[in-house]
């Protein structure tokens, strides 16, 4: 029995699938929050911050 057989039978692929789902969900949440209308004012203020001199 080799190490490859042991690791292949351990079922560790589930962790990679869960990590992919979590990362995809996080990306989706950030993407949706960017395009919500309630955040538009905050993004407009942040967009002009580097141009302010006060």
pLDDT tens-digit series, residues 5-41:
887 777 788 899 999 999 999 999 998 888 877 778 8
Q: How confident is the model at residue 53 (pLDDT cuts 50, 70, 90)?
A: low
- Assess if residue 24 is contained within a domain: yes
Q: What is the domain extent for residue 41?
A: 12-51
- Assess if residue 35 is contained within a domain: yes
Q: Quick check: 52 pLDDT over 70?
A: no
The radius of gyration of the chain's CA atoms, rounded to the nearest angstrom, is 22
What does the pLDDT read at residue 46?
84
Place of tokens 């949440």: 29
- Report the distance separating Cα 34 and Cα 46, nearest Å: 13
- Assess if residue 21 is contained within a domain: yes
- Assess if residue 3 is contained within a domain: no
- Assess if residue 5 is contained within a domain: no
Q: Is the pTM of this model over 0.85?
A: no
- Assess if residue 2 is contained within a domain: no
User: How many domains would you assign to the chain?
Assistant: 1
What does the pLDDT read at residue 23?
98
Is residue 38 within 8 Å of 32, Cβ to Cβ?
Answer: no
């Amino acid at each position: 029995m080799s190490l490859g057989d042991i690791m292949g039978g351990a079922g560790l692929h589930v962790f990679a699938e869960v990590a992919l789902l979590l990362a995809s969900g996080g990306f989706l949440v950030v993407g949706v929050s960017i395009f919500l209308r309630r955040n538009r004012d905050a993004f407009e203020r942040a967009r002009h911050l580097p141009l302010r001199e006060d």
